[in-house]
Amino acid sequence: MSTSKAISNGILRAISIILGVILLLFFLYLIRSVLLYVLIGAIISLVGRPLMLFFTTKLKMKSGLAVGICLFIFLLFFTGIIALFVPVLAEQYQNITEIDISQLELDVDRLIGEFTEYFKIERLNVRDLVNQIDFIKYLDDKRVPEVLGSVFGGLGSFMIGLFSVIFIAFFTLKDSKLLEKSLLAFAKTEDENKFSNAFSKIKELLSRYFVGLLFQVIILFVLYSVLLLFIGIDNPIAVALIGAFLNLIPYLGPLISIGIMILFAITGNLDSSFSDVILPKIIWLGSGFIGIQLIDNFANQPIIFGNSVRSHPLEIFLAILIFGLLFGIGGLIAAVPLYTAIKVISKEFLSEYKIVQYLTKEI
């Protein structure tokens, strides 16, 4: 009787745990926006940590003033990016409203003819392609209010998110132990030291990692800008910035970047000869892009991944591949920070296993 009762209690306990996990996951799904704000605020605090240490230790500033200066620098950087893109978007919108569909069709048809003749392939019919797409039918009067409503709704959500991120980042920068204290509330008393050590190590490694990513974006932005200015691409600064940020998506990002650059090279020279103007620009663009990627792969990334998170390139590749397969593009971006956190936690709690000792010997 006691055995059957113990089994029943075990089954009920297992069911209760499963239901509890399901409810917790559902709750986390409902507050996913808040979790995103906390994540972005934490990243900002990690990137701003070296600045905070410099202001408070070297310049002897009070923590409140140092936090204010750090957030002001971030807002200035963010505002500069927006100021860079707004004129480009306005220019593109103006170009679209003034576009001559008939002339565009003739230019594209001519370029496709030159392209197919140059590479000796079967010619495409642009008129049939345009008739099949017929995107003009989507621009009716009923859709304009819907689009405007979506834009203003998105703007309102963006302002709420921006305020939330700034608020969270302020306190996480001001009190570096805030997140640690919050997480320790869920830990057992005997495990508090392990959690504290793991969190401190994760914070140190990820702080260097995100600062390294920031420098990587800046270096790529400068190199892309020089390349696009040399070739003569329209809006080179904005396109270079897009390419630099897309490079944060491992493996897939650079492919999207070069695709966008080639698209700008073509659309900015529709009235030019394919063989005399467009093709040489694409060749120069491709050659320069490959050179920049070689610099990034063999100079930037080894420093960032090796010195910051202290992981072998093969480990990083496998982690990116696995997280990408499981979670898509978001997994590609978050693979390195998550893998680093898993390694540090494993070292604190699973150090008796040889595989953990081998993978975490550099941490």
Q: Domain limits at 226?
A: 188-363
Q: Is residue 33 part of a domain?
A: no
User: Nearest Cα to 203, choosing from 37, 54, 46?
Assistant: 46
Q: Is residue 217 part of a domain?
A: yes
Q: What is the CA radius of gyration of the chain?
A: 26
Q: Is residue 266 part of a domain?
A: yes
310 touches 362 (CB < 8 A)? yes
pLDDT tops 60 at residue 159: yes
pLDDT digits (tens, 9 = 90+) for 82-95: 777 777 767 666 66
pLDDT of residue 139: 46
Q: Is residue 48 part of a domain?
A: no
Q: Is residue 41 part of a domain?
A: no
Q: Is residue 305 part of a domain?
A: yes
Q: Is residue 130 part of a domain?
A: no
Q: Is residue 78 part of a domain?
A: no
336 touches 316 (CB < 8 A)? yes
pLDDT tops 90 at residue 226: yes
**Count of domains observed in the chain:** 1
pLDDT tops 60 at residue 295: yes
Work out the pLDDT band at 258, boundaries 50, 70, 90.
very high
End-to-end CA distance of the chain: 52
pLDDT digits (tens, 9 = 90+) for 264-277: 888 777 777 777 77
Angle at 206 between CA 205 and CA 211, to 5 degrees: 105
Work out the pLDDT band at 313, boundaries 50, 70, 90.
confident
Number of neighbouring beta carbons within 10 Å of residue 245: 15
165 touches 44 (CB < 8 A)? yes
